[in-house]
Amino acid sequence: MTDAPTTPQRPWLDATLPVEERIDLLMAQMTLAEKVGQTHMVANIHPNDDAAEIASGRISSSLYASGATAGNERDAGVLVANIDAAQRHAVEGSRLGIPLLFGRDVIHGHRTVSPIPLGIAASFDADLAEQIGEVAAREAAVDGVAWTFTPMVDISEEPRWGRVAESLGETPVLSGRLAASIVRGFQGDDPGDPDRIAACAKHFAGYGLGAGGRDYDTVSVGENTLRNLHLRPFKAAVDAGVLSLMAAFNDVDGTPMHAHEHLLREVLKDEWGFDGVVVADWNGVGQIVFQGAAADQREAARLAIRAGVDLDMVSGAYLEHLEELVETGEVELALVDDAVRRVLRLKFRLGLFERPYAGRPGASNAPTPETREIALRAGQAAHVLVKNDGVLPLDASADAGSVLLTGGFVDDGDALLGTWVLDGRGEEVVTPADALRERLGDRLTVGDGRFSDVTLMQARAAETTVMLLGEHRSRSGEAQSVVDIGLPPGQLEVLRSVAAFGKPLVAVVYTGRPLDLSEVLDLADAVLVVWHPGTEAGNALASVLLGEVEPHGRLPMTFPLSAGHIPTSTHQRPTGRLIRADVDHKEGRYIDALTYPRLPFGLGLSYTSVDYGAPTVSAPTLPLDGSVTLSVTVTNTGERPCRETVQLYFRDPVAEVTRPLVELTDWALVDLAPGEAREVTFDVRADQAAYVGRDLTTRVDEGEIVLLTGPDAARLQPVSVTVTKKDS
């Protein structure tokens, strides 16, 4: 029998010492069992049931997942009361008093809910993304949550995959820039600030490439494509100081990501210098067994700790086996130490040793006018107008014609919140019915949430019909893949009948993914794609419909013609057989269908018209270490103001590896008054044309780069520059 370790002094509590020194002091006192405890994360920790386990120092952290705590966490104060009670066992009851870390999926808002991430991406607005993160952090912190599992930066070009809703779209630069802003919003300059929490970039890596769009499916991708595309937003999040990253469920070319030593340890930790926590995804360590790459949990634990997974989310494999694996020499202690150091670093950085009871019992985090204002701006920015024959904006005057508002989202607050909302409340949502009733009074008829023959009678009677179509929040998100990207059954049938009346018809599409909207676009006079807009959904819609604000969202993913056309995105690279419009009909590659995108990446109309001049550059050559200025004149040629998203793309016509035909590299949000012309300039640097070559190192080549500007990926005008070693 060994003597129980005695309680040491706690010199690591001296907050004036540097964090690394505090970690050293603490780790010097830790037993192997206590170290392993710091790598073990449980779900829904229970302050009573788990008291002994917490006090033994065998639990590092807890995730509060959907719908499960000791009570109904949606009742005010239950979550924070649970968290504080559990924390007390750790801080006061355990030998070393190491505080627990509480995580929760606060994805696009906590109580005040902003649009789903794909809707946030539609804003192309990095400042707004930061504000959304800041509000969510503040509200979550009140409940004692110290860590969230967002942003998701999996490159998303696969509409069948339900998780595109959680993503920031298909392009690495937009995704990376918004992710960096979201990280800043959550973490601020000092994540130890009581109003800030830690962020987590996920899911590293390649998760968006699951075969067939099926969630969790296998991924076959080469490292060049990973580096040139999929890893880039993660790198942006790391550069922005994200405190944690989550490993992905999938394998990459046969190696489960939770066992992927090359990508996790060699690339992320060694090459990029990431010093934060790599957390497993839910049971991700245990799942290596299901993936057939480990015989049992013991082997899974050995593979995962070696690969660089620091914190085992819920599988228990580390808790059960790591100690023995170290004792038998199968796992070096240094690997466990590295993981523990990272977990403790996160806890120190969050100020948990100073402020273990981080929540504020009794404080409210319900939406306020200020948080609603941000959610409203975000909701408006998520409204993407993809067609308008002139029916929008609706006439706001009191004596204008009658309007029917009908369809599944008219007054269903909950459905408007979108996927991954644990704390937002349907009853706090302003619905389209609420908002339009307030503005249109007697002019408005609110139809049923379900289409029926009454819908047709109402539409026949109304002068204008606004149909709310699309998919319920529960049809997108995790484990919600579909093979049919059309509207859910029944909706088109009603749309066809209403359209047959020949009266003004506006289709509003609530969705978590790009849908096949071909027939909707044919039948409706105006079409708005609005994702799931969150707490201020109704006000966002009403303000856009009535022209109180100009529509200014842009599509962050390409909308393909059909599911059979997937993938269709801006990632397309040139092939050896060029597509010839004359021979291949309209850019054909199939013999039974055309292949252009139904709605291109970046598309978004306004209530005015905007003319783009040809881009010019300040010099024909772009020095490797310098920049040129690209200018393009945009003119509002209509009668209403607008916010234009002026987009800049690159094409590298000759490189060591095939490069995308166009890749978004920058953009500017420009407000234009009616008739106003503005010269928009971009500072273009050679390093923006950097790419990863055949030897997997980053390079910038001399030679031509085509810069393209325009309102979306399908309407671009080029200008070339030559990258040179010397300024000439």
Secondary structure (3-state) at 307: helix
What CA–CA distance (Å, rounded) separates 462 from 682?
A: 48
Judged by beta carbon, residue 33 or residue 43, the one nearer ligand BGC is: 43
Q: Return the number of the residue (312 or 666) whose C-beta is nearest ligand BGC.
A: 312
At closest approach, how far in Å is the CB of 148 from ligand BGC? 9
- CA-CA distance, 163 to 475, in Å (whole number)? 10
Which is closer to ligand BGC, CB of 1 or CB of 479? 479
* Beta carbon nearer to ligand BGC, 105 or 712: 105
Q: To the nearest whole angstrom, how small is the minimum distance from the Cβ of residue 283 to ligand BGC?
A: 8
Rounded-to-10 torsion of CA 579, 581, 584, 589: 40
Q: Which two tokens stand for residue 635?
A: 């003119």
Which residues between 382 and 421 bind ligand BGC (CB under 6 A)? Answer: none
Q: How many CA atoms lie within 13 A of 68 on its CB side?
A: 10
Q: Residue with structure tokens 């706090």? A: 428
- Give whichever of 207 and 612 is closer to ligand BGC, judged by the CB atom: 207
Torsion sign across C-alpha atoms 201, 149, 89, 297? negative
Q: Which of 65, 563, 619, 706 binds ligand BGC (CB under 6 A)?
A: 65
Does position 105 interact with ligand BGC (CB under 6 A)? The reply is yes
Neighbours of 296 (CB within 10 A): 12
Q: How far is the CB of 280 from ligand BGC (least distance, A)?
A: 9
Q: Write down the H helix ranges in 453-517.
A: 453-461, 491-499
Q: Among residue numbers 227 through 286, which ones bind ligand BGC (CB under 6 A)? A: 281-282
Residue 153 or 529 with smaller CB distance to ligand BGC: 153
Query: Least distance from C-beta 105 to ligand BGC, angstroms?
Result: 5
215 near ligand BGC, rule: CB under 6 A: no
Among 320, 428, 478, 584, contact with ligand BGC (rule: CB under 6 A): 478
For ligand BGC, the closer CB: 149 or 607: 149
Least spacing, CB of residue 290 vs ligand BGC, in Å: 14
Q: How far is the CB of 528 from ligand BGC (least distance, A)?
A: 29
Asked if 601 is part of the footprint of ligand BGC (rule: CB under 6 A), the reply reads no
Coil, strand or helix at 214: coil
Q: Are 469 and 520 in contact (CB under 8 A)?
A: yes
For ligand BGC, which residue has the nearest CB?
149
Query: CA 385, CA 606: separation in Å to the nearest integer?
Result: 7
Q: Which amino acid is at 301?
A: A
- Listed residue (210, 124, 213) closest to 713, CA to CA: 124
| 244 neighbors 200 (Cβ within 8 angstroms) | yes
Min CB(554)–ligand BGC separation in Å: 26
Nearer to ligand BGC among residue 246 and residue 721 (C-beta): 246
Is the dihedral angle over the CA atoms 561, 123, 111, 241 positive or is it negative?
A: positive
290 C-beta neighbours (distance < 10 Å), count: 12
Residues 135-174 that bind ligand BGC (CB under 6 A): 149
Q: Which of residues 282-311 bind ligand BGC (CB under 6 A)?
A: 282
Q: How far is the CB of 500 from ligand BGC (least distance, A)?
A: 44
DSSP 382-397: T-EEEEESS--SPP-S
CB of 202: closest distance to ligand BGC in angstroms?
A: 6
Binding mask 176-205 for ligand BGC (x = CB under 6 A): --------------------------x---
Q: Copy the structure tokens of residue 93.
A: 């009851």
d(CA 235, CA 690): 14
x/- letters, 16..55, toward ligand BGC (CB under 6 A): ----------------------------------------
- Shortest Å, Cβ 711 to ligand BGC: 34
Q: Pseudo-torsion of CA 454, 455, 461, 462, nearest 10°?
A: 150
Q: Which two tokens stand for residue 162?
A: 């339900």
* Count of residues of this chain found to bind ligand BGC when the rule CB under 6 A is applied: 8
Residues that bind ligand BGC (CB under 6 A): 63, 65, 105, 149, 202, 281-282, 478
